[in-house]
Chains A and B, each alone.
Chain A
Amino acid sequence: MAASRKLTRRQVLQGTAAAGALGMLGRFDWIGQAWGATDKVKMGFIFVGPRDDYGYNQAHFEGKSAVAKLDWAKAFDEEKVPETIEVQKTMESMIKLDGAQVIFPTSFGYFDPHILKVAPQYPNIQFLHCGGLYQEGKHPKNVGSYFGYIDESQYVAGIVAGGMSKSGKLGFVAAKPIPQVLRNINNYMLGARSIRPNCTTNVIFTGDWSLPVREAEATNSLVDQGIDVITCHVDSPKVVITTAEKRGIYCTGYHCNQAKLAPRGYLTGAEWNWAKVYMDYAELIRKGEPIPHLIRGGLKEGLVKVSEYHQTVTEAVRTQAEAAKAKFMSGSMVVYKGPIKDNTGRVVIAAGKEHVQTDIWLESMDWLVEGVIGSTKS
């Protein structure tokens, strides 16, 4: 790693020196040759937060690191790029200065208006956005979108949480009451209730994606209310997980593996598997094959995974979790199968009705399932 870094830096410096002599156009040509391989697939990754956040951005960085190891690919990245005009400039800079052929802006808010503004100006560059927002006919042709059904992993984690809890009270620290988050909470609850019908999940919405102090307060308050397993949906689960470990309760992770942060209490977790997605994309680009505009999938497609179970997870719980996982893998699992009531007693899915994973109806979820203590209005 260190050796390759040194080489890169020197090459770029030579490029800088050459730039003075050759002028701008000359330099761009030169950079193409300097990497010694015009056939290398050059991929630029953009993260909204730090690479090592033990969360959303680290999950993407791990995916980037996987493709960076390929000898026919070159991957570079930028962290902490806000969802303002700055990300437009970052994309353009990666294209103009680094010769990126494909850009992965990984934050949800990068799409509209930023990618939609930059992509039409660079029709030969691929813009692949994490979030599943692409719509045929409405968005530029060189734009694609990918997203994983991580709620499937949350369902499995919910089973483990419900099975391992002594009090039957689970906790969930969530950022905002938006469909993606609500779906994770509901899946967690439904997973837990599938093996333990009376358990509950206390939810606290912090209001934003990265509020470490409030996340710690929420965790402590939930522990004080008697919950004994906690999970979260915020950009970085680090604070929630370490606080839970300090308070001596169990936790299940989110985004990436946080087992290192909680060696005693990390039961399992819902993880992204971006390495697979990025490897697949890189392979398609290398072969010059058409890139699908929309890639979505869950456990079966390998876009998400479940962390290894902690040694304390009992055999009985493991079996139940694995059984659910197997159903997801075979495609026979339907989580949203009626009758399902929300936590105000309203029937949201009537008996006999099913909403399969890909059902668009689930994408506008605005309710919390029975057993969840909390409100989307908070």
Chain B
Amino acid sequence: MPDAPSGMVTLTIDGHEVAVPKGTTLLEAAKRVGKDVPHYCWHPGLSAPAQCRMCLVEVEGAPKPQPACVTTVMEGQVVKTESPQALSNREGVLEFYLVNHPLDCPICDMSGECLLQDYVHAEGRKHGRSHEPKRVFGRDDFGGDVLFYGDRCVMCTRCVRFMSEVERDDRLTVVERGNRSVIDTFFDEGLEGTHFHGNIVDICPVGALVSKEFLHKARAWDLSHEPSVCASCSQGCNVELHVRDNLVQRVKPRENIEVNAWWMCDYGRHDYEWMNEGDRIEAPLVRDAGGATRALGWKEALHALLERAGGVSNRSVRAVASARASNEDLGALAELVGALGGGETVFRSRRAADEIVLKGFPKLARRRDLAPNLQGAELLGMQRVGSDDATGGLEGVRDHDGIVVVLGDALDDQDASFGGKAGLFVYLGAHAGAAARSAHFVLPVTTHAEQEGTFTNHEGRVQRFWPALRAPGMARPAWLVLGALVAELTDGSVSRSASAAFARLSDAVFAFAGMSYDSLGSRGAVARVPAGASSGSSGAGA
């Protein structure tokens, strides 16, 4: 055996030799050899009370089985996670859980992703031996979005520890003792008013804590889990969109220790209904001289657009972008503005009064800027205009007599005369608002939930997201639509994939230089944000 580097400890787990840093727990060391030791109370983001007793493993020489979650590795240790003793321990503990756990899996929201279900199925007894009546606690409304099913609780106390250690607001506790122990709130104060309590539903290993919003909405096994990035603020929490029937049913955080660890805020968690909205523009619309619109195929529509563009006398462009559009979309818009004759691009974005910081993991906050790609827009030289509620600021655009391009801004505060004087008014969006009434071309584009792309978060981290929903009708990603126009105008090539669109961007924009979809992977990388960049999104200092 080669000497392990200093600070490393070599031990044997289930016959596999493994070298891990000193201080690693047996549970984490076992992961290195592909063994997931069953556990309930341990969570990587919380303290370890070692009280569920599921992770007891056999350590040669130790008089008693050791809890893998808190026992640290020792040189030459021989650990058995699947010895008869370890298996018998787990079988015993699982049987104890089932003495009082109701078998209401058919109506339990957690069913299908429940750790008790999984472990019992894998390692539990085939038949229970308890003939005694079960203890009954009933349900409790914990306030906020959380409903508590006391009977299902396995008393791992993850929720209590999350509120106390991560949210740092002790709203939950264990009351009583023995098997009368139950999680409870304090008097009439529930979780109301806390901003991260949705996480306790995620970390509950069973169906004791469930989301009211998701209650009885979908079965776990019917949901596909699509990796994405939360678009509700500039933090850029890594999330999964859980989808059934082409509708997002719920949002769950996806682990990324650099951004959001295992957590996300309740604001982002519940901000997904807009992705499911119908009432979408489903085909390219072209307005004729009489003001009526006509649906066309993409090819015809783009040809008509280019034809009209050719006839515009004032070729200066005024574009309105959106901080909710991807880097690729914004990059293609910037290229189009250049190809048409140049001009300036502005965007508007909502800004909240305060940041909401997760005290136990202060890297994560609901940022003031309520859009995911503010930093990306600014890196592309787009100017933020308007007020904190994303209104106003478009005086220079609304009566512009050259070319007006709007991408993703619904222009809700503008009236129908917006762009009425433009030689060419192109509106790219998901929904047709009142202000698009004068647009000569209304082009349907996808939301971030329907396309692949990247956002640049408040600290300049470029993060990929993936399509979770099928786009409606003929809607296409904006980078594809805009890229096709650019290709026609410049006789260049067109990007056929989001990856190629990003490659084009990284060639053109210094901040993204050297980055590719491969190098970003699922965790992202930090762009070269120029020092002193205004980065309005880093509301931290504001």
A and B are partners in one complex rather than unrelated chains: no
Chain A interfacial positions (CB closer than 8 Å to B): none
Which of B's residues lie within 8 Å of A, judged by CB?
none
